């Protein structure tokens, strides 16, 4: 009964989030930067990520701030790809590929808020409402672009297809327009202050106003749609809930399933390599709710995703959900044993205090330090090379500052 109440509460929360979508274009709704900023503020992200913070260099005060790179040199936002965006990696409940997860401690962002952020990124992470082609064409017309771009030899915006065509006599390298990537599109570079070959596209000798430039940028980052489009995924809900620290309830809901054959539920212990878990047949075309009880949860992080398969065997993947099964003792294991020089090996580590990272020291029998690894909470795939065969000691500090030590034999390759 508890899981039923949680399920209903999540759906109600999701309903409220969906109503917070600022843009409604021909009945097709989507989130904007303002909506996303409100969600992050609601989750108190601004208590750490603010201008002038000594602890964090990434902030989201402005759209430019949010979409910029960070000290990890990973993009916080990859337009159209939430699964490659560091922001989602940091808030989805698992360990992060760079730095610490967000928010700190055991508090997690709700599944409804997470899905809202993922939906925003997957639609292109727009700052404003995404324009259609006719609106983009109007921007170029108002800015008198047709004064120069009116011959057969020049670039044209007369129709949708012509936008993508670069003149044969162009001196510039690179594509004219790259869907989901304004920064790599020559068109965007020409109308913004980006470095570009040749001349900028000016309006009566002046740069195009930033509002129009931003609209074109959002349009390109949204996949340069010819008309208003819906979200590229059919999910309206995808959540997990851990039961008695042993089982994990997985549930999802769809908006429509017109061409959907089935769902393949997949699981992983590292968030990288997923394996088959179950197949769930599609319900009705008007949308359905589904659930699956995972009874073989592993200690540590359990990752889940859906492979959504259509009748023509094409498929897409859902976002990833993470649940952590806590352990009642420190887990530190190494495999395979013995290990082989220049070969990868696995280190499984789950601390009692929930730390996300620790140092793994590798020493020879004389006490010389051979390797110093950063160990992440969970499964780690590491490699040692250039050492002599023999006995080595692998050690980490536990939460009481005591050392956990494993003696391992390393063989020649």
What pLDDT, in 10s, does the model give residues 277-305? 999 988 766 668 899 999 988 887 899 99
Please give the average per-residue pLDDT across 185-191, as a whole number: 89
In this model, does residue 360 exceed pLDDT 70?
yes
**According to the model, what pLDDT value does residue 260 have?**
83
The CA-atom distances, in angstroms, between 2 and each of 65, 241, 244, 413 are 41, 10, 11, 54
**According to the model, what pLDDT value does residue 14 have?**
43
**According to the model, what pLDDT value does residue 317 have?**
87
Read off the pLDDT band of 350 (50, 70, 90): confident
Look at strands 339-340 and 403-411 and give their pairing: parallel
- Bridge partners, 305 (sequence order): 266
**According to the model, what pLDDT value does residue 104 have?**
61
CA distance 271 to 7: 24
Contact in structure between 36 and 122 (CB atoms under 8 Å)? no
Beta-carbon contacts of 166 under 8 Å, excluding residues fewer than 6 positions away, are: 155, 172, 175, 176, 186
Read off the pLDDT band of 232 (50, 70, 90): very low
Percent of all residues in the chain with a pLDDT value above 70, rounded to a whole number: 84
Contact in structure between 144 and 203 (CB atoms under 8 Å)? yes
Judge if the upstream peptide bond of residue 121 is cis by omega within 30 degrees of 0.
no
**According to the model, what pLDDT value does residue 402 have?**
64
CA distance 278 to 306: 10
**According to the model, what pLDDT value does residue 282 have?**
85
**According to the model, what pLDDT value does residue 3 have?**
38
The CA-atom distances, in angstroms, between 31 and each of 11, 54, 169, 231, 272 are 18, 30, 40, 10, 28
Contact in structure between 319 and 344 (CB atoms under 8 Å)? no
Query: 331-411: which CATH topology?
Result: Immunoglobulin-like (2.60.40)
* pLDDT tens figures, 19-71: 567 787 766 778 999 999 999 999 988 888 888 776 667 889 999 999 987 76
In this model, does residue 162 exceed pLDDT 50?
yes
**According to the model, what pLDDT value does residue 348 have?**
86
In this model, does residue 152 exceed pLDDT 70?
no
**According to the model, what pLDDT value does residue 106 have?**
56
In this model, does residue 141 exceed pLDDT 80?
yes
Please give the average per-residue pLDDT across 318-331, as a whole number: 83
* pLDDT tens figures, 332-344: 889 898 999 888 8
* Residue owning tokens 């065509």: 165
Edge to edge, what strands does the sheet with 390-397 contain?
339-340, 403-411, 390-397, 357-364, 369-376
**According to the model, what pLDDT value does residue 399 have?**
55
Query: Residue 19: exposed, middle, or buried by beta-carbon count in 10 A (0-12, 13-18, 19+)?
Result: exposed
* pLDDT tens figures, 245-285: 789 999 998 877 777 888 999 999 878 889 999 999 887 66
Identity of the highest mean pLDDT range in 146-155, 244-253, 394-403? 244-253
Read off the pLDDT band of 229 (50, 70, 90): low
In this prediction the pTM is 0.72
């Amino acid at each position: 009964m508890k899981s039923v109440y949680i399920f209903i509460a999540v759906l109600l929360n999701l309903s409220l989030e969906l109503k917070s979508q600022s843009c409604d274009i021909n009945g097709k709704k989507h989130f904007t930067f303002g909506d996303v900023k409100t969600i992050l503020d609601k989750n108190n992200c601004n208590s750490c990520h603010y201008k002038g913070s000594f602890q964090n260099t990434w902030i989201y005060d402005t759209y430019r701030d949010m979409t910029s790179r960070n000290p990890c040199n990973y993009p916080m936002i990859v337009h159209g790809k939430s699964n490659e965006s560091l922001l989602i990696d940091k808030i989805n409940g698992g360990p992060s590929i760079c730095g610490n997860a967000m928010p700190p401690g055991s508090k997690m962002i709700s599944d409804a808020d997470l899905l809202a952020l993922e939906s925003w990124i997957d639609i292109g992470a727009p700052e404003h409402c995404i324009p259609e082609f006719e609106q983009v064409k109007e921007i170029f017309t108002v800015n008198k672009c047709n004064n120069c771009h009116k011959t057969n030899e020049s670039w044209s915006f007369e129709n949708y297809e012509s936008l993508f065509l670069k003149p044969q006599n162009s001196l510039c390298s690179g594509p004219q327009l790259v869907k989901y990537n304004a920064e790599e599109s020559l068109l965007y570079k020409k109308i913004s202050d980006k470095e570009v070959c040749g001349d900028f596209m000016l309006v009566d000798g002046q740069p195009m106003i930033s509002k129009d430039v931003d609209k074109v940028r959002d349009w390109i980052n949204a996949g340069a749609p010819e008309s208003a489009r819906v979200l590229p995924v059919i999910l309206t809900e995808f959540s997990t809930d851990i039961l008695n620290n042993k089982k994990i309830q997985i549930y999802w809901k769809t908006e429509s399933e017109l061409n959907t054959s089935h769902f393949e539920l997949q699981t992983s212990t590292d968030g990288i390599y997923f394996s088959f878990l179950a197949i769930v047949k599609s319900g009705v075309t008007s949308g359905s709710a589904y659930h699956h009880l995972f009874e073989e949860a592993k200690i540590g992080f359990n990752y889940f995703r859906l492979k959504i398969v259509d009748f023509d065997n094409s498929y897409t993947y859902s976002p990833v959900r993470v649940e952590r099964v806590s352990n009642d003792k420190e887990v530190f294991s190494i495999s395979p044993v013995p290990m082989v020089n220049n070969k990868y090996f696995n280190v499984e580590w789950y601390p009692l205090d929930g730390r996300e990272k620790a140092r793994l020291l590798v020493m020879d029998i004389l006490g010389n330090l051979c390797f110093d690894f950063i160990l992440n909470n969970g499964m780690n795939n590491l490699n040692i090379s250039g050492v002599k065969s023999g006995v080595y000691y692998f050690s980490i500090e536990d939460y009481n500052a005591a050392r956990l030590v494993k003696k391992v034999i390393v063989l020649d390759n």
